[in-house]
Structure 1
Amino acid sequence: MTGDSSNNSILLNSMKENSSVSCPVVSQHISIAVLLCLVLLLGLLLNIFSVWVFLRRMPKWKAGTILQFHLAISDAIICPLAPFIMVYFALGGNWAFGSLMCRVKIALLTTHFYGSILFLTLISVHRYVSVVYHSQDSCLKQKDFVKRLCAGVWLFVLIKGVVCFSLLDISTVGNHTVCLSIHQGENIEVYFAMNFVLLIPGFLVPFTISLFCYIRLARSLSSINICHQKGKQIKSKSQKMVAICLVIFGLCFLPMNVVRTMIVVVKKYFSSNCDLLLQVETAYYASWVLSSANCCLDPLIYCFSSENFTKAVRSSLRKIGARIQTPQEDCAETVSRENNTVAH
């Protein structure tokens, strides 16, 4: 009896020791930091330029323009984090900017990520309504309603950001100070719960709505008469927009949500498997690079969905000396050269 009790005690102590194993913080390859910062800096330039075009070169806004403008703002707010993230990775995963900046970083990441998803979803729904129900009145075609809708989205994502700001902070793991890291063992329950709270309303529901709109829009486009120039333009513009939206959802948002779910599950149930944890952690940071790429891809939506935006961009580039020609202009120039050749 005494021997059995002693053996059980040793076994329990051994299980406790194994369950409390803390994997060391391993420095990620510097290429992840370099790629992430390059993507964010390019996104900053593109979105600042897009916001400037919306504000200064497009005096008349439609409902779709309002949604695109708010998407550009949502993309731009994350880009100033690039230097902080670069230093964090360069120091081997050591956060050197204090508690407040860590909380601000987490809040901005959350607000940007889910704000971009929701505004992209609204743009998809608006495009679907505009094409499929073009002859019918809809609240999504009314600017006042869309403004209130955008205000509601900002309120929703800012509440998410504030919650993350209040719940998460820096931690000391070994000789590292970490921020938003899976190595923060004391936060694993919070990370696990928050992941699924954010995943369902923040990604799965918007993605399902967007996918429904894309499928219905694709069916509607197949019946558009492309013999008329207007029908041809609508079909081409919508096809390009559907394609880029699917790329953004599939390339930028899906990997981050999948990998983040994997990493919280691994940390919660397989915390002693350090090799597996390191692999999913590396995949998680790689998904950061992909998710940040949406800042660079979203401006393509503005060009594909708004002819006025494209014209404003061309006009702005001409003012700074760049020559951007439309296919019609190229054709006209070719005809002019041929006529001059014949005349001579």
Structure 2
Amino acid sequence: MLNTSRNFTTCQPQHISIFIPIFLGVIFFIGFVLNCISLWIFWFRVKQWNSTVILQFNLAITDAIITPAAPLIIMYSLTDHWTFGTILCQFKVFLLSTHMYGSIYFLTLISIHRYFSVVRNDKRKALTTKPFITKLSIIVWGFLLVQGIPFFFFLQTSEVHGVTKCLSIHQNDQAVLFFVWNWIIFFSGLLIPFTITLICYSLLSRYILNVNPINNLTTVMVNKSVQTISVSLIIFIICFIPVHITRTMGVTIILFFPSMCSILEKVEVAYYITWTLSGTNCCMDPIIYCFASDRFNNTLTGRRSLRQRQDVSFRRSSPWSSLEQDNNRLSLA
């Protein structure tokens, strides 16, 4: 375990509002239901998987993976006292990390995929094929595993003011560890993916200005790609950016300015709020599936899309037919 020899002035931890566990319970339940429905549709209703389905299925898995840790998180929020031991603390943090950064990485891959499918469809078609996306998804899961495994070696629980803490900024004995890990993950797990997603959105938005307005099919498909990336950006802005900013401020203050308790109290309250908001991504991610394809949405409603009934020869003659067919297979039953 990484320790520091500095003497810290211990500030009083802030009390967790009862609203937080209630809100988390509602969010986790809604997210569990939505992602179970999404996984059921992907597994049982989508007969022919393509690269789009693979990415969205993996995103749904990252959202569902938080379920085993949800009861532990809610109970810890209720009492602010960790009574489940070090191993379960490490397991909870591992699932939290895999859930959050798995969502970030796959949202980023979905944005990249939409960009290459629309803008670079002819020149970079290999980057959107099913075999390539499958291998890329396996690499992401391997990276998530490597990223989370160190928690089982370094993360420990600590006694703070008579209560046990699990992953708290008030664990002074792990302040250096939290600070180093936070800055590494801030760049690799947030800044780089968000920048890539923002670039994809900007390029797609610029590209849509050059789309032939007469070709309604092309316009609809490009618009849906822009909407998909837009939802990804909204999820970043609401769920991921605020919690990373407040956490960075917290670990910096506790390490370098441990006597500034009044500021730390405000930052800690802000962190609890942003951390609670970060949990809403498991409810927002399913919106991606509806924007990515009409057929996924139609599977939920039981309706058939007008585009599904369009003349096959028109689709085959269109230069966008490969992308359209890729989108249509998303919910082919």
Is TM-score (shorter-chain normalized) higher than 0.5?
Answer: yes
RCO greater where, 1 or 2, for CA within 8 Å and sep 6 or more? 2
Are 1:123 and 2:101 counterparts? no
Secondary structure of the corresponding residue to residue 133 of structure 1 = coil
Higher helix content, 1 or 2 = 1
Tell me what 1:99 maps to: 86
159, 167, 172: which is aligned to 2:159?
A: 172
Are 1:207 and 2:194 counterparts? yes
Tell me what 1:158 maps to: 145
1:148-297 alignment, distance < 5 Å: 148-297=135-284
194-203 or 76-85: bigger deviation: 76-85
Q: Offset at 1:286?
A: 1.1
How far apart, CA to CA, are the structure 1 residues paired with 2:262 and 2:111?
41
How far apart, CA to CA, are the structure 2 residues paired with 1:196 and 1:231?
42
Q: 1:202-230 CA deviation, whole Å, 9 max, x = no partner?
A: 11111111111111111111111233331
Are 1:87 and 2:72 counterparts? no
Secondary structure of the corresponding residue to residue 150 of structure 2 = helix
Q: Offset at 1:326?
A: 7.1
Secondary structure of the corresponding residue to residue 172 of structure 1 = strand
Secondary structure of the corresponding residue to residue 95 of structure 1 = coil
Q: 1:118-143 CA deviation, whole Å, 9 max, x = no partner?
A: 10000000000111123345222211
Instruction: State the AA in 2 paired with 1:135.
Output: D
How far apart, CA to CA, are the structure 1 residues paired with 2:187 and 2:223?
32
Tell me what 1:53 maps to: 41
Tell me what 2:59 maps to: 71
How far apart, CA to CA, are the structure 1 residues paired with 2:89 and 2:69?
11
Q: Offset at 1:199?
A: 1.0
Structure 1: give runs of 5+ residues left out of the alignment.
1-17, 316-323, 329-344
Secondary structure of the corresponding residue to residue 285 of structure 2 = helix
* Identity across matched positions, percent: 40
Alpha-carbon contact 1:51-1:69 (below 8 Å) kept: yes
Q: Offset at 1:19?
A: 4.9
Alpha-carbon contact 1:106-1:165 (below 8 Å) kept: no
121, 134, 157: which is aligned to 1:134?
A: 121
Measured on the aligned residues, the alpha-carbon RMSD in Å equals 1.9
How far apart, CA to CA, are the structure 1 residues paired with 2:272 and 2:123?
45
Tell me what 2:326 maps to: none
Secondary structure of the corresponding residue to residue 183 of structure 1 = coil
Alpha-carbon contact 2:62-2:99 (below 8 Å) kept: yes
Alpha-carbon contact 2:118-2:222 (below 8 Å) kept: no
2, 5, 9: which is aligned to 1:21?
A: 9
Alpha-carbon contact 1:27-1:89 (below 8 Å) kept: no
How far apart, CA to CA, are the structure 2 residues paired with 1:203 and 1:179?
23
Q: Offset at 1:291?
A: 1.2
Tell me what 2:27 maps to: 39
Alpha-carbon contact 1:37-1:85 (below 8 Å) kept: no
Q: List 4+ stretches of structure 1 deviating above 6 A.
A: 324-328
Q: 1:175-210 CA deviation, whole Å, 9 max, x = no partner?
A: 101100011000000000001111111111111111
Instruction: State the AA in 1 paired with 2:176.
Output: E
Instruction: State the AA in 2 paired with 1:148.
Output: K
Q: 1:81-107 CA deviation, whole Å, 9 max, x = no partner?
A: 22212211211x101211111010111
Alpha-carbon contact 2:24-2:279 (below 8 Å) kept: yes
Cα distance change, pair 314–140 in 1 and its aligned pair in 2 (3 A): farther
Alpha-carbon contact 2:20-2:276 (below 8 Å) kept: yes
Instruction: State the AA in 2 paired with 1:143.
Output: K
